[in-house]
Amino acid sequence: MYKLVVLTDPDNADGFRLAGVDVVIAETQDEARHKLNALIDDDTSGIIGVNESIFGTIDERTQRKIDSIYRPIVISLPIRETLETGEDHRAYLSRLIRRAIGFDITLRRG
């Protein structure tokens, strides 16, 4: 059975743990890169959630690797600081969806 793992910084780790998720902590960008590659190569990883601040620093080689595999699925997770910057939440969600599925979806109030 595949597992969900979150790669994040120490400040956000407890919140994911409280949600019952396996957490891998990275304190530096270099450590995050090594741990992400190890998680990608782990046969038990099904979905890897990566803290958005870490995801934004992934090197090109690792990004190509992520784009070329079908499992595990690597997704960027928004963190509190991102949502508090005043960015329009619809635009932010639209950008996340576009990145995940490859095209735009218009979000409307129902």
Provide the pLDDT for residue 90: 62
DSSP assignment of 35-54 equals: HHHHHHH-TTEEEEEEEHHH
pLDDT of 36 > 70? The answer is yes
Dihedrals phi, psi of 18, to nearest 5 degrees: -60, -30
Q: What fold characterizes domain 3-77?
A: Rossmann fold (3.40.50)
Total-model pTM = 0.71
Q: Are 9 and 51 in contact (CB under 8 A)?
A: yes
Residues with Cβ within 8 Å of residue 54, at least 6 apart in sequence? 7, 8, 9, 26, 29, 32, 36
Nearest to 34 by CA among 61, 16, 69, 4: 61
Q: Report the range of poorest mean pLDDT among 2-6, 43-47, 90-94.
A: 90-94
Domain boundaries, given as residue ranges, for the chain: 3-77, 80-110
CA atoms 50, 67, 86, 91: torsion sign: negative
Name the nearest CA neighbour of 62 among 103, 33, 91, 102: 33
| pLDDT tens by residue, 60-79 | 999 999 999 989 999 988 87
Phi, psi for 9 (deg, rounded to 5): -85, 165
Say which amino acid occupies 24. V
Asked if residue 40 has pLDDT above 80, the reply is yes
